[in-house]
Amino acid sequence: MKIAIIGVGYVGLVSGACFAELGADVYCVDVDERKIAQLREGVMPIYEARLQPMVKRNVEASRLHFETDLSLVLPLVEIVFIAVGTPPDQDGSADLSHVLEVARTIGKSMDSYKLIVCKSTVPVGTSRKVKAAIREELDKRGFGDVEFDVASNPEFLKEGNAVEDFMKPDRVVVGVESDRAKELLTYLYKPMQLNNFRVLFMDIPSAEMTKYAANAMLATRISFMNDIANLCEYVGADVNMVRRGIGSDSRIGSKFLYPGCGYGGSCFPKDVKALIQTARDNGYEMRVLNAVEDVNARQKKLLFEKFDRYYNHDVKGRKVAIWGLSFKPGTDDMREATSLVLIQQLLEAGCEVSVYDPIAMDEAKRRIGDKVRYANDLYDAVIDADALFHVTEWKEFRMPSWEVVKRSMNNPLLIDGRNVYDLPDSFGFTYMGIGI
Ligand code: UDX
């Protein structure tokens, strides 16, 4: 089966490589010529475990191709996935200009049946707009009798675990409005049925909504737990115990219940905002989600507040170290990362900041420039520090030599935004977690 995937961003590239791995003939298309040239050379635009060898293997097997001109690819394929970005607009709603631009490009050169599938996270109603844009271009060219279908197939992969998530999903959600589209997508996902998962077919608006509802639900769990954690501190409870206590209730379940210094990344913040905005456009206010956002914004500021309170608001000129910059381990992505909020607060307060991250150093240099010191490793970062902030729970930070860390620091104050350390008192650190 021949398919095209438009947009070699996170979702597009992972999906393209995985479909090729499953035996499909995949054409990945992007207007960014540099990116495409690099991909042909085997250079990945993002860091993602298992992705690079998978791309290489499938390019060598001629199942995965990288192209810049959609009009040349279109005649070769039956299914076209749209996987371009939907960045937030100023008011938080998803910017659909890239998606609709692709739709128009398809309409401009299509001359036989195609199934166009939205994989980008798009607000309810977007597939209808895609359909209208294609139809308009076809009519302009006098190709109004060419048939096509649209479908929605949102992606639930997590950064850092994307290949695994794609290959072994809990479920695949597909919104269709014709039998032909349903048959094509059933066939495309057939090789994966061996992994015993379900393809859930539904109408298109429900599929579009499912993606937002899932991300909003997960973000809600995290903000809810962050609120509980903060209260635990006031009443002398330990949120780790509380988490285990409620997580073992099968109605609640144990995943995504970890309190911390706020959720980041490209999906939760963006999708929660977009859903709030979709509701507003329809005259409805999502009160729970407004609170989810508030709690998250406050949570990102908590690490600095703990530090500031410890030093009685006398922090000017103090040296601090930050372990972890990406929004979570396993990725160099810093979009909406808590580290950015913390660094800004520290710099505004006149602190000297040293940072270290196993993967995201280049990304940090691009975003932050020379306002902080980039340490060579985790021990280098803590030299003379008055506080160490643990912001992203990379494995590399799990079992450092605490003796060395303590000896290097000016004052062994450890502020753990991810609650991963269980330091015995003998190490002599002052330890602060979230909700413990
Ligand atoms: C998320 C969704 O999980 C995925 O299904 C969707 O397709 C895209 O958005 P991703 O953003 O890659 O994926 O990361 P995820 O692992 O979900 O983490 C998001 C944020 O939540 C991170 O900042 C993480 O640190 C935080 N988090 C996660 C918590 O604070 N506590 C938790 O218990 C889990």
Q: Do both 49 and 184 map to the same domain?
A: yes
Examine residue 367 and state whether it is found in any structural domain, yes or no: yes
pLDDT score for 195:
64
**Number of domains making up the chain:** 3
Sheet strands (E) in 180-282: 198-202
**CA angle in degrees (0–180, nearest 5) for 361-367-371:** 85
Q: Is 223 in the pocket of ligand 1 (CB under 6 A)?
A: no
Q: Do both 135 and 251 map to the same domain?
A: no
Query: Is 45 in contact with 38 (CB distance < 8 Å)?
Result: yes
Determine the distance separating the centroid of ligand 1 and the alpha carbon of 178, expressed in angstroms: 33
Tell me which residue has its CA closest to atom 26 in ligand 1: 263
pLDDT score for 423:
80
Examine residue 64 and state whether it is found in any structural domain, yes or no: yes
Q: Do both 196 and 59 map to the same domain?
A: yes
Examine residue 428 and state whether it is found in any structural domain, yes or no: yes
Q: Which helix (H) or strand (E) holds 28?
A: strand 25-29
DSSP-assigned letters across all residues of 295-306: HHHHHHTHHHHH
Examine residue 171 and state whether it is found in any structural domain, yes or no: yes
Examine residue 207 and state whether it is found in any structural domain, yes or no: no
Ligand 1: nearest atom to the Cα of 256: 33
CA neighbor of 430 nearest in space, from 244, 306, 295: 306
pLDDT score for 95:
92
Q: Do both 28 and 50 map to the same domain?
A: yes
Q: Supply the CATH number for residue 163's domain.
A: 3.40.50.720
Q: Do both 216 and 352 map to the same domain?
A: no
pLDDT score for 39:
95
Query: Is 31 in contact with 68 (CB distance < 8 Å)?
Result: yes
Q: Do both 139 and 194 map to the same domain?
A: yes
Q: Do both 185 and 242 map to the same domain?
A: no
d(CA 208, CA 336): 23
Q: Do both 105 and 186 map to the same domain?
A: yes
Examine residue 96 and state whether it is found in any structural domain, yes or no: yes
Ligand 1: residue of 220, 225, 255, 328 to mutate (most ligand atoms within 8 A of CB) is: 328
Ligand 1: nearest atom to the Cα of 258: 33
Q: Is 269 in the pocket of ligand 1 (CB under 6 A)?
A: no
Rounded to 5 degrees, φ, ψ at 355 are -125, 150
Ligand 1: nearest atom to the Cα of 226: 30
pLDDT score for 361:
98
Q: Determine the distance from the C-alpha atom of residue 397 to the mean position of all C-alpha atoms in its chain, rounded to a whole number.
A: 22
pLDDT score for 198:
82
Ligand 1: residue of 222, 240, 271 to mutate (most ligand atoms within 8 A of CB) is: 222
pLDDT tens digits, residue range 267-299? 999 999 999 999 999 999 999 999 999 999 999
d(CA 242, CA 8): 42
**Ranges under pLDDT 70 in the chain:** 194-196
d(CA 273, CA 123): 11
Range of the domain at 79: 2-201
The contacts found for 425-434 with CB under 8 angstroms, 24 or more apart, are 427/402, 427/403, 429/402, 430/310, 432/306, 432/310, 434/226, 434/229, 434/230, 434/239, 434/259, 434/260, 434/261, 434/302
Q: Do both 270 and 162 map to the same domain?
A: no
Ligand 1: residue of 153, 155, 158, 325 to mutate (most ligand atoms within 8 A of CB) is: 158
Q: Do both 176 and 130 map to the same domain?
A: yes
Q: Do both 67 and 92 map to the same domain?
A: yes
pLDDT tens digits, residue range 227-244? 999 999 999 999 999 999
Q: Is 328 in the pocket of ligand 1 (CB under 6 A)?
A: yes
Domain boundary among 244, 274, 299: 299
Q: Do both 224 and 88 map to the same domain?
A: no
ipTM: 0.95
Q: Which helix (H) or strand (E) holds 374?
A: strand 373-374
Examine residue 206 and state whether it is found in any structural domain, yes or no: no
Question: Which residues are catalytically annotated?
Answer: 267
Q: What DSSP designation does 256 have?
A: T
Domain boundary among 201, 231, 249: 201
Examine residue 153 and state whether it is found in any structural domain, yes or no: yes
Query: Is 131 in contact with 107 (CB distance < 8 Å)?
Result: no
Q: Is 215 in the pocket of ligand 1 (CB under 6 A)?
A: yes
Determine the distance separating the centroid of ligand 1 and the alpha carbon of 146, expressed in angstroms: 41
Domain boundary among 299, 318, 340: 299
pLDDT score for 424:
72
